[in-house]
Structure 1
Amino acid sequence: MPVCFITQPIHPKAVAFLKEKGVQIRFASAPTMEATIAEVGNAEAVITRDLGFSGAALDAAPKLRIIACHGSGTNRIAVNEAAQRGILVTRAINANSRSVAEMTIALMLAGARKICAADTAVRAGNWDFRYENPGMEVHGKTLGLVGFGAIARHVAQIAREGLGMKVMAWSPSVPHDVFVEHQVKNVSDLPDLLHAADVVSLHRPADASGKPTLTREMLDMLKDGSVVVNTSRGSAIDTRALQDSLRRGRLGAALLDVLPQEPPESDDPLLKDRNVVLTPHIGATTEEALTRMAMTCAHQVMACLTGQSPQYVVQPSIPIKS
C-alpha cells in the first residue's frame, strides 16, 4: 500500500478519496520542516501547503515519487533538487484564483474605508472616529495590478464591473491581446503604473533572487495617500521601506495577507502599525478553494502512483543533467 505523507491539514474529501484508492495516509505530527524530515520516511507521495519541502526533506524520503503543492506557489519546495532525483513536483494551478481575488478586493475596501480602525474605535468607545477619519471612494479610482495572471484577471473583472474602477496592469510575460480581452490597460513600465495608481495590488510570483518587486525606490513613486495590497508573496515588498512610507504619511494604508516571515516575530514592527492591516495568509482559505486545491493534489498523486502523467508538473528553473 503506497504512503502519502501530508505536512499540513487538507480538506477531508481529498483524504477520503485517497484512502478509497488504497493509499495509506500519514500526517506530520506538527506543521514544521523538522517534523516532516523526521517523519516522512517511506512515503511515495507528499502533499504540502505553504510549508514546502526542503532538500533535507528530500534526503529523508528515499522512496518519494511526487510532491503535490496545495496551491500555485512552489518557491518553498526544492524543485530543482527534486527534478535531479526524478521526483515530480506539481501544483494546484488556478484552484484558488477566485478566492484570492475576492480576498484582494476585501482588503482593498477595508483599506479604503478604514474598516479595521473603525471597528477598533467603536469598541474603544470612540464614536467620533467617523468625523476624524474620512475614507476613500474607489469608484472612478485607478487600480494598478502588478502581474496579470489568473488571480489578477479576476480582481480586474470585479473592480471594473463591480466597482467602476479604472484598471491597468504591468506584466511583461503576458501577451497584449490578453489585456485587450479583459479590458485592462497594458502598462509597459512598472514606474508608469505606480505613478498613476490609487491602489496597487501585487500578483506576481516570488523572484528567485529574493529581491522585492516593490523596492524603496518603487514605493517612493506611489501617489500620496495610495493603498497597497499584497496577496501574492511576502517577499514582494520591502516591508521596512513600506513602513517608512506609511510613517511619513506618503501612503494611506497597506493591506498584507502575506509576510516575509510567517508567522511574524512577536516584536515585528508591522504588528504595531495602525496603518497596516494583517491577515494570516487566508486568501485561499475558503471552503470552495480548499476543496479544489486538495482534490487537485489528490488526483495528481493518484496519477503519479498509477503510472500516469500528472496535469500540472512544475518545470525546474535550471537544466537537469541526463
Structure 2
Amino acid sequence: MLKLTRRKFGTVALASTAAAVVGAMTLSPAVAADKINVGILSLASHSPSIIAEERGYYAEQGLEVEFVSFQAAQPMAVAIASGDVDFGLTAISGGLISLADKGVIKVVGGALQEYDDIEGQKVIVSKKAHDEGVKTPADLKGRTFGITTTGSSFHYMAHKIADKEGFDRAEIKLKPLQKVPAVIAALKSGQIDAWSIQPNIADNLTSGPDVVEIGSISDYIPNYQVTTVFTSTANATDKQDLVKRFLAALSKGIADYNAAFVDKTMSEEDTAELVKAIHKYLYTDQPLEKADPQIRAGAMRFNENARMNVASIEDQLEWFKSEGLVPEGVTMDKLVDTSFVETF
C-alpha cells in the first residue's frame, strides 16, 4: 500500500447540505486533531472521502486525515484489522467478512448503492467476445470473467448474473488478476471476455474500439449496496465518538458529491473545484482537461448520511457462505454495527 500525503486546495468555504450524523458535532479549533489513516482506491467511488478532506469537513470534526492507497478491497480490510488504517470505504470482500468473524472489523455505514433511476455498474465485454456472439449477459455461460481476487465484489456480481440467467456458477470462468488495471488491460486485449465495473470506468472503456457494453448489474442485483464504510471493532467499541465524527464529515462529502455529479444541483464553478480536488487522487496520469469528463461521467448515488442497506449486505453474506468463502458461523451481528447510521 502507498501512503498519499494530505493535500489541500484553495480556501473553499462552501456550505454543505448534508445533515450531521446523530451525535457528531464540530470541535473547537483549540482541541488537538485526531490523526487517522483512511484507505482509498483509485476509483470515483472514493470521491466523497477526498471531498471531505479537501473541503475541510474532516478538520471541522477534529480529524487530521492521511489517505492510504490500495489496489483492491481485501488488502484494505487486512490493514484495518492490523491498525495500519482506521477507516475504509469499499466493497465487502471475503477477507473483510472473515476478519469480522474474528471480531476485528465492523461495517458501520453504507456508501455507493445501485438505484433504479441512476445509471449503475455495467457489464462489459471485449470486442473479440462480442464479435464471437456475446451480446447479452446470458451469453456469458462458458466465458471468462475478470475479477481482482476470489471473494471480491466482482466475483459476487459474476455469480449473480449466472444465478438469474439460469446456468451453473461454475460455467462462468473466473480469472483473478489481483488489480483493477490488470483486469482492464486483459479485457481490452481480449485475454478475458467480460467484467463489471462502475459506469465512469465502463463508459471510458466503451468509448474506444476494444470494449462493448452488454448489460447492467441493477438487472441482477436490485438495490445493491456496492460499497460500505468499515472500521476496526476496537474503534466501533472504544472510540465511538471518533467513528461518529468520521461519518459526520464523510456525510458532508457524500452530499456534495451527489449534488455536483448525480443531481447536478451544484453550480458549475463549485463543481469544477470538486473536479480539481478529485483529480489530485484520480486519473493523475492525465491532464485535468482530459480527466475532467471522466470524473463527472457515470456518477452513482451515495446513500445520504451513510445510510446502510442491511438487506443487501445480508444477501452478500449469504452468497459468501454458499460459496464456502467465509466461515458458516459468521452472522450479521458479527459483521455489522447498526448503531451509527440509519439502516433500511
On whether the aligned pair clears a TM of 0.5, the verdict is: no
TM-score tier, shorter chain, comes to 0.3 to 0.5
The structure showing larger relative contact order (alpha-carbon pairs under 8 Å, at least 6 residues apart) is: 2
* Normalised TM-score (structure 1): 0.35
Larger radius of gyration: 1
